[in-house]
Amino acid sequence: MNLLAFETSIGNCSVALLFNNKQHFVMSENKLMQSEELIVMVNAVLKENGVTYQDLDGIACTLGPGSFTGIRVGIAAARGMKKVLQTVKLIGVSTLEVMVHETPNKLTQGKKILSALKAYGDEFYTQEFSSDKNSLSEIQLISKEDLIQNMNQYDLIISDNQHEFKCHSVEITALSVLTRAKQIFSSTQDKNDIAPLYIKSPSIHRNN
């Protein structure tokens, strides 16, 4: 299994490659240059390791939530590659899912998990997971106040960054996406297209 993965939804753009059971990784130093740097980084990591696009079995990227522009850049790149390399499997994963699977198993055993990602202002994207890391709910957008009030329902809260509430923090990069893609590659149906995850606020939190 030879996989290419990239992450553009949170922080700096990064690219990871799994080829012949060896992993290779590169990250941009510029947080705001995904559209200019992603393909350059992909081409560079492939060339440095003597890999062609035709050698790839799968291409993985995050679908969101996260930076709107970053997500669209990543998905557009994956779509373009799939259009040319029709036999390559396209794998899209949510950022919140990647965060949970990036967390060590020893921390999640027997615990109900909430994955939380800072959105805009005082809002957070959240999703519930079981102790074996299976999703229990859809992704929701909730206020910081609601998050704090409901924290006691969960044994473990995972975040991309430490906030004023107690949580386990993980850093999400293309290596995180690559790890999750490896786990689900054989069970994931091939797709001709993937789409961004657009999350609307639950009606109980907003009137419109």
For 170-181, how does the pLDDT look when each residue is reduced to its tens digit (9 = 90+)?
Answer: 999 999 999 999
Residue 104 φ then ψ, to 5°: -55, 140
User: What's residue 45's pLDDT?
Assistant: 97
- pTM for the complete prediction? 0.90
Classify the C-alpha dihedral 45-34-100-192 as positive or negative: negative
In tens, the pLDDT along 12-58 reads 899 999 999 999 999 998 766 667 889 999 999 999 999 999 999 99
Helix (H) or strand (E) holding 46: helix 34-48
Q: pLDDT tens digits for 140-149?
A: 999 999 999 9
Q: What value does the mean pLDDT take over residues 113-120?
A: 92
Intervals of CATH 3.30.420.200 along the chain: 96-169
Q: Could you tell me the two tokens for 134?
A: 């299976």
In what side-by-side order are the strands of the sheet with 22-27? 22-27, 14-19, 3-7, 58-62, 89-93
The CATH number of the domain covering residues in 3-94+172-184: 3.30.420.40
d(CA 38, CA 186): 26
> In the Cβ-directed half-sphere of 94, how many Cα atoms lie within 13 Å?
21
Report the distance separating Cα 74 and Cα 63, nearest Å. 8
CATH 3.30.420.200 holds for 96-169: yes
**Cα–Cα distance measured from residue 83 to residue 31, given in angstroms and rounded to the nearest whole number:** 27
Dihedral of the alpha carbons of 11, 195, 192, 98, in degrees to the nearest 10:
40
Residue by residue, DSSP assigns 141-182 as EEEHHHHHHTGGG-SEEEESS--SS--EE----HHHHHHHHH
Q: What is the pLDDT of residues 55-99, one digit of tens each?
A: 999 999 999 999 888 999 999 999 999 999 989 999 999 999 999
Unique residue bearing structure tokens 């069970």: 187
Confidence of residue 158 (pLDDT cuts 50, 70, 90): very high
Q: Where in the chain is the domain with CATH 3.30.420.40?
A: 3-94+172-184
Q: Is 95 buried (19+), middle (13-18) or exposed (0-12) by CB count in 10 A?
A: buried
Print burial letters for 195-204: b (CB count within 10 Å at least 16), e (below 16).
Answer: ebbebeeeee
pLDDT digits (tens, 9 = 90+) for 173-204: 999 999 999 999 998 887 778 999 878 654 33
